[in-house]
A and B are shown apart, each in its own frame.
Chain A
Amino acid sequence: MNKLLKSPWLELITMCGVVILSYIALALISRGAETPPGGMSLNNIALLTFGFFLLSFAIGTIAVMAGIGGGVLFTPLMLAFTPVDSLIIRGTGLIVAMFSGLISTGPFMKSGLGNLKLSIYCCTGYGLGAFAGAQGAIFVSDRLGDTGEGFVRISLGIIVFLLALYFFRGGVKIDWPQVKQVGRFTKWLNLPQPYYESSLDRVVTYHITRAAWGLLTMVGVGVISGFFGMGAGWAIVPVMNLIMGVPLKVAAACSGILIGMGDCISVWPYILAGAVIPLFAALWLVGQVTGGIIGAQILIRVKAGSVRLILIGILLFSSFGLLTKGLTTLGYISRVPGPVHIAVLLAIMAGVALSLTGKFPKLKGGR
Chain B
Amino acid sequence: MEKPKIPLPQIVYGKIVYWLCIIAAFICTIGPVLGMAFRDNNLLNPHYLFFTIWKGSKPEAVWEEVGGGFPGGHFWIHNLNTWDGLTQLGLVIGCSCAFLALLGSSIAYFRQKPTAYGWALVALFVAVLVLLSAVGIYHV
Shortest Cβ distance from B33 into A: residue: A22
In the complex, the answer to whether B1 meets A196 with C-beta atoms within 8 Å is yes
Chain B residues within 8 Å of A195, by CB: 4
Interface residues of A in 127-154 (CB under 8 A from B): 127-128, 131, 135, 138-139, 141-142
Chain A residues within 8 Å of B80, by CB: none
In angstroms, how far is the closest chain B Cβ from the Cβ of A205? 9
In the complex, the answer to whether B140 meets A40 with C-beta atoms within 8 Å is no
- How many A residues touch B, CB cutoff 8 Å? 89
In the complex, the answer to whether B14 meets A109 with C-beta atoms within 8 Å is yes
Q: Are A128 and B129 also in contact (CB < 8 A) when A23-B33, A194-B4, A272-B136 are?
A: yes
Q: Are A275 and B3 also in contact (CB < 8 A) when A18-B29, A49-B36, A98-B94 are?
A: no
In angstroms, how far is the closest chain B Cβ from the Cβ of A101? 9
Q: List 24 A-B contacts (CB under 8 A).
A: A11-B22, A35-B47, A36-B47, A38-B48, A83-B54, A87-B59, A98-B95, A105-B18, A106-B18, A106-B19, A109-B11, A116-B7, A120-B119, A120-B123, A135-B138, A139-B140, A141-B58, A260-B98, A265-B98, A265-B129, A276-B91, A277-B53, A282-B90, A286-B25
Docked Cα-Cα span, A128 to B70, in Å, equals 26
Chain A residues within 8 Å of B58, by CB: 85, 87, 141
- How many B residues touch A, CB cutoff 8 Å? 81
Interface residues of A in 108-136 (CB under 8 A from B): 108-110, 112, 114-117, 120-121, 123-124, 127-128, 131, 135
Dominant SS among interface residues on chain A: helix
Interface residues of B in 4-22 (CB under 8 A from A): 4, 6-7, 9-11, 13-15, 17-19, 21-22
A51-74 CB mask vs B (1 if < 8 Å, else 0) is 000000000000000000000000
In the complex, the answer to whether A116 meets B25 with C-beta atoms within 8 Å is no
Question: Counting CB contacts under 8 A, is B117 at the interface?
Answer: no
Interface residues of A in 63-106 (CB under 8 A from B): 82-85, 87-88, 91, 95, 98-99, 102-103, 105-106
In the complex, the answer to whether A26 meets B37 with C-beta atoms within 8 Å is yes
In the complex, the answer to whether B51 meets A281 with C-beta atoms within 8 Å is no
In the complex, the answer to whether B7 meets A272 with C-beta atoms within 8 Å is no
Shortest Cβ distance from A138 into B: residue: B140
Shortest Cβ distance from B16 into A: residue: A106
Question: Counting CB contacts under 8 A, is A319 at the interface?
Answer: no
CB < 8 Å neighbour of B119 from A44, A117, A272, A276: A117
